[in-house]
Amino acid sequence: MRIVLATLTLALATAPLAAQPATQPAAPPQGTVPLKKVEPKADKLLINGKTPAEVLAAHPKAHFESTSVEHYRYVAYSNWACDADWDQNCEGSVSVDALPGYQVCKVLYRVTTSDGHDAWFNATPAQFYPSDPQSPDRFRSYTFQIHAFGNGNAFDHRGSKEVVEDIGMDLIPADADDFTRYYEGCYMPAHD
């Protein structure tokens, strides 16, 4: 049996930006589009299953403010593909960091093709803030993995193909706290 590493293709959508001071959010990269602001819906805001009024009653020193922060859609790769014939394997991993002055709110990607014997794509949060006073911890990166393996059977040729487009993140300012993240609908994976 012949095993060959199939081609892994990454297409860059933007060039890396120069580092900026952490106190000021960096300007969005060329080609990004600010997301449309959504008006607050206080009746939908729940913090650990409680309304802000219930949390304030239990913790009178807590402060809630209706807030809406700028979101930036940062697309790091426009296209990523693994195409493996029946006797090939293809896999790859890449980390994408938030721009200086920002944290991750949500992951962005679109799987356009997932065919064959064994094909998948995965996105895992990374670079959690060390000793973060917020809970769960905020994070600044995603690790993306792509995988397509052929079945290796000379009598039953089945390959795999995985194609993912517009891989990136929805970013918010780095200093946004838990209340802002809940309000903005950010993904908050368990991590403390």
Give a three-class secondary structure readout of 141-156.
Answer: EEEEEEEEECCCCCCC
pLDDT band at residue 25 under the 50/70/90 scheme: low
The reported pLDDT for the residue numbered 69 is 84
Radius of gyration of the chain (CA): 20
Q: Alpha carbon 101 to chain centroid distance?
A: 16
- Tell me how many degrees the CA angle 176-144-15 measures, rounded to the nearest 5: 75
- 190: Cα separation from own chain's centroid: 15
pLDDT at 18 over 50: no
Strands 72-84 and 139-149 come out as unpaired
Which pTM does this prediction carry?
A: 0.65
Instruction: Give the pLDDT band of residue 28 (cuts 50, 70, 90).
Output: low
E-only strand ranges, the chain:
4-5, 8-12, 72-84, 88-97, 102-116, 118-128, 139-149, 160-173
CA separation, residue 59 to residues 55, 64, 188 (Å): 6, 11, 22
Tally of helices (H runs) and strands (E runs) in the chain: 2, 8
Beta bridge partners of 48: none
Q: Please check the confidence at residue 3 and state whether its pLDDT lies above 60.
A: no
Higher pLDDT among residues 88 and 24, named by residue: 88
Q: What's the chain's average pLDDT?
A: 77
The pLDDT tens digits of the residues spanning 88-143 come to 999 899 999 999 999 999 999 999 999 988 999 999 999 999 999 998 999 999 99
Domain boundaries, the chain: 4-14+70-184
